[in-house]
Amino acid sequence: MQLSSDEETQSAHYGIHHSVLIKNIRSRTTIFLARHGQSEWNCQKRVSGQLNPPLSLKGVQQSHLLAGVLRHQKISAIYTSTLDRAIETARPTATLHHLPIQTRDELKELHCGHIQGRFRDERDPEVRALWEKRKRNEQFFRLPGGETFAELANRVLPCVNNILKNNEGGTVLIVGHRNTNHVIFGSLMQWPVDRWCNFKHRSKHLYEIHVGDTPATWTICFNGPSQGIRQESLIM
């Protein structure tokens, strides 16, 4: 996976360091990319960021559905952020495959600054306005006291590079967060940086990514008529 000069220029425009971009993957590695299950604050429309709300009952159910989907896969390693909602989403799969959960601080969600823990709807008009403003400019907008998308990418990508290096040719589960998964999926699929935020990862979808010079992805849904079916396309 070699980067063109155009890709390097674009990454610099977005504030992402050339040195952290994913490159030079010689053997096929499979990444299963999941988003943590629904949290209590997702239900309440509160901003989680790097705070630590637990999974909701639905989120716990989603964690078991994830384990069921992956029961016949030869998972070689499991990585999550250090936040409980990611760890607990991975736990049933880790138990099933007798694997440790390897936690990484670098995989934590975008830091949302002073609005973490607050409602993002009409109950808190200030946060609602900031949230809508960020949605219109996700790659450059900084929430007060929070991280930019580039700062997020510059901490996530070295971690992903290390995961790939240490698990070359293996099959790895990564349980991340909405914004961290923008970075992970976009970079592994070799998308231009300006497309990374177009990736919308819902908790009911698991993505199987074959990493290499010509990456490919499949979508597996946890529920509905296509539950458990591996579909050779990107579904969001």
68, amino acid identity: G
Q: What mean pLDDT value characterizes the chain?
A: 92
Model confidence band, residue 10 (pLDDT cutoffs 50, 70, 90): low
Cα separation of 48 and 143, whole Å? 13
CA dihedral (184, 187, 193, 199) positive or negative: negative
In a domain, 99, yes or no: yes
In a domain, 83, yes or no: yes
Q: Which of 199, 209, 234 shows the shortest CA–CA distance to 221?
A: 234
In a domain, 86, yes or no: yes
Cα separation of 201 and 168, whole Å? 25
Write the pLDDT tens digit of every residue in 138-155.
Answer: 999 999 999 999 999 999
- Which range, of 42-51, 75-84, 222-231, averages the lowest pLDDT? 222-231
Q: What is the mean pLDDT of residues 20-31?
A: 77
In a domain, 125, yes or no: no
Q: Look up residue 147 and give its DSSP letter.
A: -
In a domain, 173, yes or no: yes
| pLDDT value at 23 more than 90 | no
| pLDDT value at 21 more than 90 | no
Split into its structural domains, the chain has a count of: 1
Model confidence band, residue 228 (pLDDT cutoffs 50, 70, 90): confident
In a domain, 15, yes or no: yes
What is the domain extent for residue 164?
5-111+148-231
In a domain, 36, yes or no: yes
Residue whose token pair is 């390097």: 8
Tokens of 104: 């990484």
180, amino acid identity: T
- Which range, of 3-7, 168-172, 225-229, averages the lowest pLDDT? 3-7
pLDDT at 26: 63
CATH of the domain at 192: 3.40.50.1240
Cα separation of 18 and 87, whole Å? 30
CB 35 within 8 A of CB 175: yes
Cα separation of 72 and 122, whole Å? 45
pLDDT at 132: 96
pLDDT at 13: 73
| pLDDT value at 159 more than 60 | yes
What lies within 8 Å, CB to CB, of 36 at 6+ separation is 55, 59, 80, 83, 85, 86, 88, 89, 175, 176, 177, 203
